[in-house]
Amino acid sequence: MTQNPGKPVSPADLRALDIYEFAESGRQAAGALRVSQMPRMLAEVPAEAPERDTVFTWQGEGSTQPELQDDGTDAPQPYLRLAVHGSMWLMCQRCLQPYSQHLDVDATYRIVATEEEADEYPLDDDEVEVIVGSRQFNLVDLIEEELLLSLPLVPKHNVCPEVHESLLPAGGEGEAAEGGEQEAEQDVVKPNPFAVLEKLKSSGPDGKKH
pLDDT, mean of residues 36-54: 95
Contact 68, 99 (CB under 8 A): no
Residues 6+ apart with CB under 8 A from 100: 87, 88, 89
- Name the more confident of 171 and 125: 125
* Average pLDDT taken over every residue of the chain: 79
- Name the more confident of 161 and 17: 17
Q: Using pLDDT thresholds of 50, 70 and 90, give the confidence band for residue 165.
A: low
pLDDT of residue 183: 39
Give the range among 29-43, 105-119, 120-134 with minimum mean pLDDT.
120-134
pLDDT, mean of residues 144-170: 81
Give yes or no for residue 173 having a pLDDT over 50: no
Q: What is the CA radius of gyration of the chain?
A: 32
Sequence ranges of the domains in the chain: 2-149, 165-201
Q: Using pLDDT thresholds of 50, 70 and 90, give the confidence band for residue 189.
A: very low
Q: Using pLDDT thresholds of 50, 70 and 90, give the confidence band for residue 106.
A: very high
Q: What is the dihedral of CA 138, 143, 147, 148, to 10 degrees?
A: 0
Compute the distance between CA of residue 17 and CA of residue 180 in angstroms, rounded to an integer. Answer: 66
- 3-state SS string for the chain: CEECCCCCCCHHHHHCECHHHHHHCCCEEEEEEEHHHCHHHHCCCCCCCCCCCCEEEEEEEEEEEEEECCCCCEEEEEEEEEEEEEEEEEECCCCCCEEEEEEEEEEEEEEECCHHHHHHCCCCCCCEEEEECCCCECHHHHHHHHHHHCCCCCCCCCCCCCCCHHHCCCCHHHHHHHHHHHHHHHHHHCCCHHHHHHHHHCECCCCCEC
pLDDT of residue 169: 62
pLDDT of residue 119: 84
pLDDT of residue 125: 64
Compute the distance between CA of residue 210 and CA of residue 202 in angstroms, rounded to an integer. Answer: 7
